[in-house]
Amino acid sequence: MPTAGRPTDTAAEGRARSATSADVARRAGVSRATVSHVLNGQVERFLPETVDKVRQAAAELGYVPSAAGRALAMGRSDFVILVAPPTTLTNLQDIVDLVSGDLEKLGFTVVVHVSRAEGARVTSTRLHNLVEALRPAGLVDLGSLPEDELLKFQRIGCPVISPTIGTGGPRTARDDLNASIGRIQARHLHRRGYREIVYAFEAGHRDATWGRERMGGVIAVCERRGLAKPAYFDVPLDPGGARAALGSLLRGRVTPLGIACYSDEVAIALVFGAGSIGVQVPRDVGIIGTYSGPVGQIVSPRLTSVYVDLRVSLSGIRTAIAETYGGILPPTLPVDAQVISVVEGETA
């Protein structure tokens, strides 16, 4: 009978110890320092047969190098932080998949950090703490960070890829994709005969970077075309809230109104809200969404929205990743490829 408090041999065997660098060194017949150098990719000083022995021993033992130890040895980890703006957009996963796919092919592990809507100071503190803890190989910003914050990361030795600032290699010129979305929404509404245009945020996300930039695009078109400066309002994503928001906006109005929406979800909420208070779409209210998600194309009336080709809109960042980390450049797209276009529906 086994002594109380001591594991049986079977129990001890069940808790198999993970292989260490010392185990790999013994099996390969080399020092632990050699194992560390080889598995961290520093193979220039070693014979090819030594490198092969170390890698084979590690594979046979199932050895997984410590991320912390690798970061200490190399001055950085294999993590890349992907910073996204505060958003509820349903295509954020598609954006993350494209960018992280490129990074993972290069051997990096992607950590997604979503900026907080509470303000830049909260985001900055959390992100700086994350960079300090992970010692990342780089930071990829999708457009949520101001240039002064990005420069801080560069100064502490963290490579930065962003639409706002380059990496030390070719500068990635900041495009105005989100402002362009707002402009194309406003132009479409104006062509459809709406002489007053407003912008609809999702309730609780008025501070979202992309939303502010899109509204800026709407304002720019209205100024150029001699229209009144667009007002803005918040739309909750629930039937009662959307109905109340739209009813308050339309109270006493006699002329048709065009509404440029932060997302398809906001647009769909307004379409349902309009129907519940007897407002005709698009006769009384024209509504245009953003990103042309599948749900907007199966509701009735079918949603008019803006389509964004992510391959084109992210091509600058993806090219910068390849140039910075030595990957394969993304496929060259036709010079006339359209980044954004209106998907004609029945709501504007």
pLDDT band at 72 (very low <50, low <70, confident <90, very high): very low
- Average pLDDT in the 181-199 region? 96
C-alpha closest to that of 232 among 256, 196, 265? 196
pLDDT at position 172 over 80? no
pLDDT band at 195 (very low <50, low <70, confident <90, very high): very high
Q: Where are the beta strands (DSSP E) in the chain?
A: 79-84, 109-114, 138-141, 160-161, 197-202, 232-235, 257-261, 285-288, 305-308, 340-343
DSSP state of 78: S
- Average pLDDT in the 144-169 region? 75
Long-range contacts of 293-299 (CB under 8 A, 24+ apart): 293/90, 293/91, 293/264, 293/265, 295/264, 295/268, 296/264, 296/267, 296/268, 296/345, 297/343, 297/345, 299/268, 299/271
Report pLDDT for 167: 42
Bridge partners of residue 44, in order along the sequence: none
- Return the percentage of the chain with pLDDT > 90, whole number: 34
Location of structure tokens 């300090």: 132
Report pLDDT for 197: 97
pLDDT at position 15 over 50? no
Contact 282, 160 (CB under 8 A): no
Cα–Cα separations (whole angstroms), residue 329 to 3, 46, 95: 63, 31, 17
Cα–Cα separations (whole angstroms), residue 24 to 154, 161, 209, 308: 36, 37, 49, 50
Contact 41, 100 (CB under 8 A): no
Report pLDDT for 164: 63
pLDDT band at 284 (very low <50, low <70, confident <90, very high): very high
Q: List pLDDT tens digits, range 139-154.
A: 988 877 878 888 888 8
- Alpha carbons 340 and 186: distance in angstroms, whole number: 14
Other beta carbons within 10 Å of 82? 23
Q: List pLDDT tens digits, range 102-121.
A: 888 777 888 888 876 554 45
pLDDT band at 7 (very low <50, low <70, confident <90, very high): very low
Location of structure tokens 């046979």: 60
What would the two tokens of residue 37 be?
A: 């150098």
- Alpha carbons 52 and 44: distance in angstroms, whole number: 13
Report pLDDT for 117: 57
- Alpha carbons 223 and 183: distance in angstroms, whole number: 11
Contact 170, 159 (CB under 8 A): no
- Average pLDDT in the 258-282 region? 95
What would the two tokens of residue 72 be?
A: 């200490």
Q: Which region among 62-76, 236-250, 320-334 has the lowest average model confidence (pLDDT)?
A: 62-76
pLDDT band at 53 (very low <50, low <70, confident <90, very high): very high
Q: Indicate yes or no: pTM above 0.75.
A: no
DSSP state of 82: E
pLDDT band at 101 (very low <50, low <70, confident <90, very high): confident
pLDDT at position 166 over 70? no
- Average pLDDT in the 202-227 region? 88
What would the two tokens of residue 45 be?
A: 């000083």
pLDDT at position 333 over 80? no
pLDDT at position 254 over 90? no
pLDDT band at 173 (very low <50, low <70, confident <90, very high): very low
Q: Which region among 97-106, 223-232, 322-331 has the lowest average model confidence (pLDDT)?
A: 322-331
SS3 202: strand
pLDDT at position 340 over 60? yes
pLDDT at position 180 over 80? yes
Terminal alpha carbon distance of the chain? 81
Report pLDDT for 75: 55
